């Protein structure tokens, strides 16, 4: 099935087809079959030595281990001591196809890539003659249903901030109509003052994470340490449902909580003293603790915002590109009308936002503008990632593997009923998380798992999140499940 998404003739390949063999074995015949542990602990002595040296010039205090990427392959990451760990964190959810993927290597060695790297264009002034086609065959072919345009950027933070700018300019232009900027607007804006500067706001959700630059950080509400001491705009925060897991067991209670949050969302729009230009929401609040909500909730957000003229921005920086078992996680919701914008980064390497409404391009050029406006070298990687994902049906595959992992974790956790709780991610691909009672217990789990050869990350206050590649196969799942169980047995004998 080829789904025609655009008048222009761009077609989105079927996401349901499925390569029947083992894609990981095909890519990585020499991938190890389990963790290889060389040093007594991870991090080992060479990490400690190299990290100390790095710290002379670069902030090294968040280092898990110094990595030997050339020696990493597929789902296994190698540290510089020679330990090879099964990696289900994947550069904070950013490695789509595994380490040293042969298709990406081919792209990286291509003439197009060399050209993109050594002649990096200012894309909005001097677009390369290839850029349109690179977008059409990659980033745009992957566009969510109903979205036909893209603005490219360099990171998740600037993807979100440029989307906010698009929303703010759009709402201002609706108010302004055919009138030109006033003399007062033109002069006041140079003093960061009204009316040229806007008092419109961007709404986000409690525990949401949307980046760490000044505008994105004003919408980020994940953890105090992300925000302390940084000026922020006085923008509204809506409550995000605090659901009970598993979702299927608590439908009635959860529905009530979601209705409460929807009512509050609507009340804020009605009562906020200035206009709300847009709101932004993650399909799953990832950094904030892997908090889910149901399709009912997101449909409600879409309906209310549509009725009130507030734009809907879906932040798919972490959830996008297949991990949820859909190419874009918001496809789980079957929204009545598409979001106004969808932002992406991480697994796609390229960053930016999709949209359909041409009026989200400001009437005047040079308003949504900067020197680079994206990076063709990253767009080339995104194109290959999209083509490999669709060629091998990696989204459907991830959905299946996710179900397998979820079911098995469920049965493992029955043995640790007081220690591990709130397994999340049912029918949501490998986008799976679970929770401990305290941050200390969670951190002890992360360290113990790493010493058994599993690299996995935390999120929220006391959660563990699984963010593997899209070529995480049954045999990797089995290694993963074994280490999780062994680690829990060691911690809670």
Q: Is 191 exposed, middle or buried (0-12, 13-18, 19+ CB in 10 A)?
A: exposed
Q: Which two tokens stand for residue 64?
A: 């898990």
Please report, as residue ranges, which positions from 94 to 123 form the binding site for a second copy (by CB under 8 A): 94-95, 99-101, 104-105, 108-109, 111, 113-115, 117-122
> Residue 243 in 3-state DSSP?
coil
Does 451 bind a second copy (CB under 8 A)? Our answer is no
For residues 447 and 40, give the distance between their C-alpha atoms in angstroms, rounded to a whole number.
13
For residues 488 and 118, give the distance between their C-alpha atoms in angstroms, rounded to a whole number.
50
The reply to whether 209 belongs to the active site is: yes
The nearer residue to a second copy, 38 or 114, going by C-beta atoms, is 114
Shortest Cβ 28–a second copy spacing (Å): 13
Shortest Cβ 77–a second copy spacing (Å): 7
Choice from 48, 54, 444, 448 touching a second copy (CB under 8 A): 54
The nearer residue to a second copy, 79 or 257, going by C-beta atoms, is 79
Shortest Cβ 41–a second copy spacing (Å): 17
Cβ 172 vs Cβ 166: under 8 Å: no
For residues 324 and 329, give the distance between their C-alpha atoms in angstroms, rounded to a whole number.
6
Residue 208 CA to its chain's centroid (Å) = 12
The reply to whether 371 belongs to the active site is: yes
Choice from 27, 76, 151, 436 touching a second copy (CB under 8 A): 151
Cβ 471 vs Cβ 441: under 8 Å: no
Catalytic residue among 182, 197, 337, 371: 371
Site string for a second copy, 213-232 (x = CB under 8 A): xxxx-x--x--xxxxxxxxx
Please report, as residue ranges, which positions from 167 to 206 form the binding site for a second copy (by CB under 8 A): 168-169, 172-173, 181, 185-187, 189-193, 196-201, 206
Cβ 291 vs Cβ 240: under 8 Å: yes
Start-to-end Cα distance in the chain:
51
Stretch that binds a second copy, among 13-21, 207-215, 242-250, 413-421 (CB under 8 A): 207-215
Burial 70-89 (b: 16+ CB within 10 A, else e): eebbbbbbbbbbebbbbbbb
Please report, as residue ranges, which positions from 257 to 316 form the binding site for a second copy (by CB under 8 A): none
Does 125 bind a second copy (CB under 8 A)? Our answer is yes
The nearer residue to a second copy, 172 or 269, going by C-beta atoms, is 172
Catalytic residue among 87, 315, 340, 375: 315
Site string for a second copy, 407-446 (x = CB under 8 A): ----------------------------------------
Task: Tell me the backbone φ, ψ of residue 354, rounded to 5 degrees.
Answer: -95, 155
Choice from 14, 41, 148, 275 touching a second copy (CB under 8 A): 148
The nearer residue to a second copy, 26 or 307, going by C-beta atoms, is 26
The nearer residue to a second copy, 72 or 305, going by C-beta atoms, is 72
For residues 72 and 472, give the distance between their C-alpha atoms in angstroms, rounded to a whole number.
15
For residues 25 and 16, give the distance between their C-alpha atoms in angstroms, rounded to a whole number.
21
The reply to whether 315 belongs to the active site is: yes
Shortest Cβ 22–a second copy spacing (Å): 21
CA-nearest of 436, 444, 430 to 477 is 430
Please report, as residue ranges, which positions from 357 to 386 form the binding site for a second copy (by CB under 8 A): 361, 364-372, 377, 381
Shortest Cβ 199–a second copy spacing (Å): 7
Binding-site size, a second copy (CB under 8 A): 125
Does 69 bind a second copy (CB under 8 A)? Our answer is yes
Please state, as a whole number, how many other Cβ atoms lie within 10 Å of the Cβ of residue 194: 13
**H-only helix segments in 150-238:** 156-176, 183-188, 214-219
In the chain, the largest separation of any two C-alpha atoms, in whole Å, equals: 73
The reply to whether 53 belongs to the active site is: no
The nearer residue to a second copy, 124 or 423, going by C-beta atoms, is 124
For residues 354 and 147, give the distance between their C-alpha atoms in angstroms, rounded to a whole number.
6
Residues designated catalytic:
209, 315, 346, 371
């Amino acid at each position: 099935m080829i789904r025609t998404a655009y008048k222009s003739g761009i077609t989105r390949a079927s996401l349901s087809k499925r390569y029947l063999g083992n894609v990981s074995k095909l890519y990585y015949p020499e991938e190890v079959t389990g963790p290889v542990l060389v040093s007594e602990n991870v991090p080992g002595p060479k990490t400690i030595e190299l990290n100390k040296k790095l710290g002379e010039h670069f902030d090294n205090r968040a280092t898990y281990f110094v990595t030997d990427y050339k020696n990493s392959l597929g789902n296994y990451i190698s540290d510089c001591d020679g330990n090879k760990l099964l990696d289900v964190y994947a550069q904070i959810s950013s490695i789509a196809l595994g380490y040293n993927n042969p298709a990406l290597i081919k792209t990286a060695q291509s003439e197009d890539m060399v050209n993109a790297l050594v002649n990096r264009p200012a894309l909005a002034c001097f677009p390369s003659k290839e850029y349109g086609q690179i977008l059409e065959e990659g980033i745009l072919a992957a566009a969510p249903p109903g979205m036909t345009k893209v603005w490219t950027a360099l990171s998740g933070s600037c993807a979100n901030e440029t989307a906010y700018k698009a929303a703010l300019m759009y709402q201002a232009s609706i108010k302004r109509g055919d009138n030109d900027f006033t003399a007062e607007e033109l002069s006041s804006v140079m003093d960061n003052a009204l009316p040229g500067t806007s008092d419109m706001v961007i709404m986000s959700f409690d525990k949401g994470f949307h980046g760490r630059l000044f505008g994105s950080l004003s919408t980020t509400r994940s953890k105090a340490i992300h925000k302390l001491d940084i000026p922020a705009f006085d923008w509204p925060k809506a409550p995000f449902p605090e659901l009970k897991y598993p979702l299927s067991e608590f439908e009635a209670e959860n529905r009530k909580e979601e209705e409460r949050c929807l009512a509050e969302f609507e009340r804020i729009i009605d009562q906020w003293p200035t206009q709300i230009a847009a709101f932004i929401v993650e399909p799953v609040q990832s950094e904030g603790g892997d908090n889910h909500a149901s399709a009912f909730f997101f449909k409600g957000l879409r309906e209310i915002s549509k009725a009130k003229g507030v734009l809907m921005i879906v932040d798919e920086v972490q959830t996008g590109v297949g991990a949820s078992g859909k190419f874009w996680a918001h496809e789980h919701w079957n929204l009545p009308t598409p979001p106004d914008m969808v932002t992406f980064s991480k697994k796609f390497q390229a960053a930016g936002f999709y949209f359909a409404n041409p009026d989200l391009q400001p009437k005047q050029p040079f308003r949504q503008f900067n020197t680079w406006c994206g990076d063709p070298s990253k767009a080339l990687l995104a194109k290959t990632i999209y083509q490999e994902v669709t060629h091998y049906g990696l989204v459907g595959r991830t959905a299946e593997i996710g179900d397998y992992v979820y079911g098995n974790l469920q049965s493992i956790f029955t043995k640790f009923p007081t220690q591990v709780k709130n397994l999340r991610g049912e029918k949501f691909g490998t986008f799976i998380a679970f929770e401990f009672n305290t941050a200390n217990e969670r951190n002890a789990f992360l360290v113990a798992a790493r010493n058994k050869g599993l690299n996995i990350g935390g999120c929220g206050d006391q959660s563990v999140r699984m963010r593997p590649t899209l070529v995480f196969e049954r045999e990797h799942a089995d290694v993963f499940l074994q280490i999780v169980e062994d680690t829990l047995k060691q911690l809670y004998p």
